[in-house]
């Protein structure tokens, strides 16, 4: 048995793994909305009070 | 005083004088929203985007229909004992602040467990605990912060809302297989003989074969099915040569590896399908927040209040309304059925139906048509007809709404493909015949090679990429087309039909002209002071128009509903209103809305209200008249004839008093005599005409709110650029023709190899993607060029 068989099996298994990941992602609806997640990721610590007060003051010029 | 914008919504707040927390607001509504946000630590809303909010509207009683469990059930996506999930369409969603606040709804009410915004579709999906908050309370909460959801009869039919993701699956499968087959083909590209290849080639080939199976029979099934359907109805559409190519590629490749003759063309096969699907994907991506399939359902409410004889109120589904029912229509509610006004003052806004901006007054006993919106107070009506039988909704039973427009029309690609298929088949047979005499062993090889290399991948890609790209450019310029074939049809137009009110006239502005004897300054003061007291919309707009005068105190003021107003000051009397009311008996020649004025029982003159035509209307018509037949079809009376003939080119046809069905029939009639009709309208009453025409464009002041079913939506501000859009569509057709030429060159090169019997898999694998990619590049670059020209024209016309 040549090592090529093992390599081929591994490469195809890896490829199929990615393919399954893709199918799962589509099924979960990750490809339905391509814009909102890009904005959502930027919201993080917005709820800290001091910070917001300061920014409102700077905005008001 | 300088203008200070409202901190919440950005409107002018200098007059209102409401300040809170050192910030000015235009109204108490905006202030309240700010208070809600600040007490919940959500003021960050204003950091993300300044003045992002909307004024919260008064919705008292508007959502009472959400008390009806049957209606609520129909709106919800998911419902068990405790948890409910609802997807609500919120037209106001427009910036990152909106996403942020809507996804932090749980800070405002802990019963909401999660809310997820889809920005493209302008929806929010809310999961909440139904034991502590009801859907009605949720809707109220959203409205109170300025994000009022839009719930219409369309939402009633949820459940079949399954998203179609098949194309992306097919694309994924094809891409996956294409990549792997490419890898597996590499050894044989470079090394044709030798021990290694001879030992392992069968394994590689059979792997490629198994990868190509799902590509042909799953990813490519649309082409095969479409070709089969085309052949059955004796049409040689573009999918016929494509399917022929796919099948020949597959059969020949399989035969080659079974008989151990060669490696086959699996790489080209999977690549071809991958590229074709990519083109389809590119074309399909349009504006998902705009709906082009709207009928009255997306505009009508789901529920309405029914009054029982004993005075109790009940929210009912509007399909359950029966003839003879008594309904309560609240302020800002829509009349869902034809009915008779029984109680209350009706001021009905029919703008969604006719495009007419002026609200009309009705008195008890008058007939009210479905589709009107009550503007002032609540009224009671008796139902005359059910929803489906009402005057307006009947229009939708016309056949034209069940036909698919695209089926009525042969695309450029299909027209070419017919000639192309015949040409390819004859070349294939000629070449085969030749080789049968010269070297019969090569005949079959040549025959299949011709069919493979001539597969019109590039031709099939030219149209999707050109139109797809132009669609995006148009979208940036606020012209939103439903799909690519709309642009193609737009280029073929020879007749343009306009609706009048709301289409060529602007909705919000009215022009007022005065005819009659001059008023003395005393009289003007009296007129102005009198108008000041009246709330009638005509009085308001007249009041705003008159010069500034001192406001005098009136001795006496009286309002006669439906007739006019009367006032007295220092022995001078004034009457403002309808002609008979002021005592004007001479013939009233105008058919337009007019307000008559008399002082001391002496007729003075009249103010005539007419719609203001959109800016650049004459210019646009003068440009269009050289290339198209122009018609104006109006549902109104002929009052504006004189103005229109002055404004528009002489050969423009003007037709008035057209019912919705008349408009539809008019277009049908002209289409039968060979006209390609572009209909431009705006109201629901144009829906039939828009559907019947070859291209129906809806003009909309606000693309997010409402437009009837159509092929494209044009923002009202871009109305005068209509001609440029048509011209750009024509350029797109030219670009596609050039692409066809380009792909023919590639095909001839390929055919040379094929006919001479020396088509190696490597050549096919290089030539086929190369032609596809160069076509994609060519069309993208040239449509961008057209787009840039289009944008430049905009700049000039603004100056």
**Confidence at residue B769, expressed as pLDDT on a 0 to 100 scale:** 78
**Confidence at residue A14, expressed as pLDDT on a 0 to 100 scale:** 94
Residue B116 above 70 pLDDT?
yes
Q: Are residues B176 and B202 in the same domain?
A: yes
In a domain, B704, yes or no: yes
**Confidence at residue A56, expressed as pLDDT on a 0 to 100 scale:** 42
Report DSSP letters for B685-754, one per residue: GGHHHHHHSSEEEEEESSTTT---S-SEEEEGGGGGGHHHHHHHHHHHHHHHHHHHHHHHHHHHHHHHHH
B556-562 contact pairs (CB < 8 A, 24+): B557/B530, B557/B533, B559/B533, B559/B534, B561/B345, B561/B361, B561/B363, B562/B361, B562/B363
In a domain, B523, yes or no: yes
Q: Are residues B183 and B266 in the same domain?
A: yes
Residue B591 above 70 pLDDT?
no
Pick the last residue of a domain from B727, B757, B772.
Answer: B727
Higher confidence at residue B705 or residue B328?
B328
Q: Does A57 touch chain B (CB under 8 A)?
A: no
Q: Does B285 touch chain A (CB under 8 A)?
A: no
**CA pair distance B202, B197, nearest whole angstrom:** 9
Q: Are residues B496 and B626 in the same domain?
A: yes
Which structural domain range is residue A37 located in?
3-59
Residue (of B520, B394, B388, B413) closest to B464 by Cα position: B413
Which structural domain range is residue B713 located in?
478-506+615-727
Q: Are residues B100 and B70 in the same domain?
A: yes
Range in A48-52, B107-111, B630-634 the model is least confident about: A48-52
The rounded percent of chain B whose pLDDT value lies above 70 is 86
User: Considering chain B, what is the average pLDDT of its residues?
Assistant: 80
Please check whether residue B704 is in contact with residue B122, taking contact to mean a CB–CB distance below 8 angstroms: yes
How many contacts, defined by CB atoms under 8 Å, are there between A and B? 78
Pick the last residue of a domain from B727, B746, B776.
Answer: B727
Q: Which residue in B has a C-alpha nearest to residue A14's C-alpha? A: B180
Q: Are residues B500 and B629 in the same domain?
A: yes
Q: Are residues B81 and B128 in the same domain?
A: yes
Higher confidence at residue B409 or residue B329?
B329
In a domain, B608, yes or no: yes
Burial grade of B404 (CB within 10 A; 0-12, 13-18, 19 or more):
exposed
Contact A15 B46 (CB under 8 A): no
In a domain, B429, yes or no: no
Q: What is the mean pLDDT of residues B547-554?
A: 68
- What is the torsional sign of CA B502, B504, B507, B513? negative
Min Cα distance B119 → chain A (Å) is 5
ipTM of the complex: 0.76
CATH number reported for the structural domain that contains residue B87 in this entry: 3.30.70.100
**Confidence at residue B461, expressed as pLDDT on a 0 to 100 scale:** 82
Select from A16, A43, A53 the residue whose CB has the most chain B CBs within 10 Å, as the one to mutate to test that interface: A43
Residue (of B304, B351, B310) closest to B328 by Cα position: B304
- Positions of chain A with pLDDT lower than 70, given as ranges: 1, 44-61
Please check whether residue B88 is in contact with residue B139, taking contact to mean a CB–CB distance below 8 angstroms: yes
In a domain, B597, yes or no: yes
- In what helix (H) or strand (E) does residue B312 lie, and over which residues does it extend? none
**Confidence at residue B707, expressed as pLDDT on a 0 to 100 scale:** 64
Q: Are residues B499 and B640 in the same domain?
A: yes
The rounded percent of chain B whose pLDDT value lies above 90 is 6
* Of residues A2, A19, A40, nearest to B99 (C-beta): A40
- The bridge status of strand B303-307 relative to strand B313-317 is antiparallel
Q: Are residues B115 and B138 in the same domain?
A: yes
**Confidence at residue B629, expressed as pLDDT on a 0 to 100 scale:** 86
Q: Are residues B82 and B189 in the same domain?
A: no
Q: Does B251 touch chain A (CB under 8 A)?
A: no
Higher confidence at residue B120 or residue B597?
B597
The DSSP bridge partners found for residue B516 are B605
Number of domains within chain A: 1
Q: Are residues B231 and B179 in the same domain?
A: yes
Token digits for B30?
């905006």
Place of tokens 């990721």: A41
Distance (Å) of CA B297 to CA B155, B387, B680? 9, 10, 21
CATH number reported for the structural domain that contains residue B659 in this entry: 3.40.50.1000
DSSP classification of residue B64: G
Contact B118 A12 (CB under 8 A): no
In a domain, B51, yes or no: yes
Number of domains within chain B: 5
**Confidence at residue B181, expressed as pLDDT on a 0 to 100 scale:** 92
**Confidence at residue B549, expressed as pLDDT on a 0 to 100 scale:** 61
**CA pair distance B575, B602, nearest whole angstrom:** 9
Q: How far apart are the first and last CA of chain B?
A: 30
Range in B40-54, B84-98, B205-219, B439-453 the model is least confident about: B40-54
Give B118's contacts in chain A (Cβ within 8 Å).
Answer: 32-33, 36
**CA pair distance B699, B707, nearest whole angstrom:** 8
- Taking each helix axis as running N to C, give the angle between helix B457-476 and helix B239-258, from 0 to 180 degrees, rounded to the nearest 10: 130
Range in B384-388, B533-537, B763-767, B789-793 the model is least confident about: B533-537
**CA pair distance B27, B86, nearest whole angstrom:** 31
Min Cα distance B77 → chain A (Å) is 15
Q: Are residues B102 and B39 in the same domain?
A: no
Burial grade of B729 (CB within 10 A; 0-12, 13-18, 19 or more):
buried
Q: Does A37 touch chain B (CB under 8 A)?
A: no
**Confidence at residue B174, expressed as pLDDT on a 0 to 100 scale:** 94
CATH number reported for the structural domain that contains residue B597 in this entry: 3.40.1110.10
CB atoms within 10 A of CB B588: 14
Residue B161 above 60 pLDDT?
no
In a domain, B247, yes or no: yes
Pick the last residue of a domain from B594, B613, B632.
Answer: B613
Q: Are residues B626 and B485 in the same domain?
A: yes
**Confidence at residue B276, expressed as pLDDT on a 0 to 100 scale:** 87
- The bridge status of strand B556-560 relative to strand B505-516 is unpaired
Please check whether residue A45 is in contact with residue B100, taking contact to mean a CB–CB distance below 8 angstroms: no
In a domain, B344, yes or no: no
B residues 3..32 contacting A (CB < 8 A): 22-23
């Amino acid at each position: 048995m040549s090592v090529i068989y093992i390599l081929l099996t591994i490469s195809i298994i890896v490829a199929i793994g990615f393919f399954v990941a893709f199918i799962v992602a589509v099924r979960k609806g990750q490809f339905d909305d391509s814009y909102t997640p890009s904005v959502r990721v930027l919201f993080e610590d917005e709820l800290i009070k001091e910070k917001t007060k300061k920014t409102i003051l700077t905005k008001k010029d | 005083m300088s203008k200070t914008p409202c901190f919440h919504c950005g409107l002018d707040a200098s007059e209102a004088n409401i300040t809170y927390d050192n910030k000015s607001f235009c109204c108490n509504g905006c202030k309240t929203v700010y208070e809600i946000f600040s007490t919940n630590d959500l003021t960050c809303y204003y950091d993300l985007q300044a003045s992002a909010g909307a004024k919260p509207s008064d919705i008292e009683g508007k959502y009472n229909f959400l008390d009806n469990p049957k209606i609520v059930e129909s709106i919800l996506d998911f419902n068990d004992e405790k948890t409910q999930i609802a997807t609500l369409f919120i037209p106001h969603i427009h910036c990152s602040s909106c996403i942020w606040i809507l996804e932090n709804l749980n800070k405002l009410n802990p019963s909401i467990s999660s809310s997820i915004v889809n920005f493209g579709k302008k929806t929010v999906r809310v999961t909440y605990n139904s034991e502590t908050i009801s859907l009605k309370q949720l809707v109220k909460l959203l409205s109170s912060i300025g994000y009022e959801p839009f719930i219409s009869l369309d939402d009633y039919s949820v459940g079949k809302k399954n998203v179609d993701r098949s194309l992306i699956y097919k694309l994924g499968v094809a891409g996956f297989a294409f990549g792997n087959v490419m890898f597996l083909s590499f050894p044989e590209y470079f090394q044709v003989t030798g021990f290694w290849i001879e030992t392992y080639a069968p394994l590689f080939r059979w792997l490629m074969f198994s990868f190509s199976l799902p590509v042909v029979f799953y990813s490519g099934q649309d082409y095969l099915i479409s070709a089969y359907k085309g052949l059955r109805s004796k049409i040689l559409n573009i999918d016929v040569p494509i399917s022929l190519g796919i099948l020949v590629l597959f059969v020949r490749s399989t035969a080659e590896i079974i008989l151990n003759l060669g490696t086959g063309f699996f790489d080209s096969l999977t690549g071809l399908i991958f590229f074709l699907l990519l083109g389809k994907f590119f074309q399909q991506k349009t504006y998902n927040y705009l709906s082009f399939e709207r009928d009255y359902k997306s505009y009508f409410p789901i529920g309405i209040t029914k009054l029982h004889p004993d005075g109790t109120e009940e929210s009912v589904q509007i399909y359950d309304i029966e003839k003879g029912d008594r309904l309560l229509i609240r302020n800002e509610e829509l009349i869902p059925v034809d009915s008779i006004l029984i109680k209350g003052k009706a001021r009905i806004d029919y703008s969604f139906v006719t495009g007419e901006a002026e609200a009309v007054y009705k008195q008890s006993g008058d007939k009210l048509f479905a589709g009107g919106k009550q503007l002032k107070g609540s009224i009671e009506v008796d139902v005359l007809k059910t929803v489906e039988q009402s005057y307006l909704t009947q229009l939708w039973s016309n056949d034209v709404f069940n036909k698919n427009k695209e089926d009525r029309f042969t695309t450029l690609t299909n027209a070419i493909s017919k000639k192309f298929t015949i040409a390819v088949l004859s070349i294939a047979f000629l070449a085969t015949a030749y080789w049968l005499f010269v070297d019969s062993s090569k005949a079959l090889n040549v025959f299949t090679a011709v069919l493979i290399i001539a597969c019109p991948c590039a031709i099939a890609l030219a149209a999707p990429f050109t139109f797809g790209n132009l669609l995006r450019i148009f979208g940036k310029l606020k012209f939103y087309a439903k799909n690519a074939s709309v642009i193609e049809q737009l280029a073929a137009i020879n007749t343009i039909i306009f609706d009048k009110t709301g289409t060529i006239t602007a909705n919000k502005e009215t022009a007022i002209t005065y005819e009659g004897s001059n008023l003395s300054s005393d009289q003007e003061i009296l007129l102005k002071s009198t108008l000041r007291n009246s709330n009638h919309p005509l009085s308001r707009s007249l009041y705003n128009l008159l010069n500034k005068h001192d406001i005098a105190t009136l001795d006496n003021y009286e309002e006669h509903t439906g007739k006019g107003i009367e006032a007295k000051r220092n022995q001078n009397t004034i009457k403002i209103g309808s002609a008979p009311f002021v005592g004007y008996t001479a013939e009233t020649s105008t058919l337009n809305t007019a307000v008559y004025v008399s002082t001391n029982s002496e007729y003075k003159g009249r103010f005539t209200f007419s719609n203001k035509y959109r800016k650049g209307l004459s210019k646009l018509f003068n440009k269009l008249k050289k290339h198209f037949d122009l018609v104006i079809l109006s549902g109104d009376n002929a009052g504006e004839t004189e103005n229109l003939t002055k404004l528009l080119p002489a050969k423009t046809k003007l037709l008035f008093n057209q019912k919705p069905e008349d408009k539809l029939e008019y277009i049908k009639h002209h289409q039968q005599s060979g006209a390609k009709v572009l209909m431009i309208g705006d109201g629901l009453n144009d829906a039939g005409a828009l559907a019947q025409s070859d291209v129906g464009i809806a003009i909309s002041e606000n693309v997010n709110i409402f437009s009837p079913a159509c092929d494209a939506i044009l923002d009202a501000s871009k109305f005068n650029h209509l001609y440029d859009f048509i011209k750009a569509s024509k350029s797109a057709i030219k670009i596609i023709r050039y692409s066809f030429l380009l792909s023919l060159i590639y095909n001839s090169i390929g055919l040379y190899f094929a006919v001479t019997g020396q088509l190696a898999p490597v050549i096919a694998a290089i030539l086929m993607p190369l032609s596809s990619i160069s076509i994609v590049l060519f069309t993208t670059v040239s449509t961008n060029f057209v787009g840039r020209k289009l944008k430049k024209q905009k700049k000039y016309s603004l100056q």
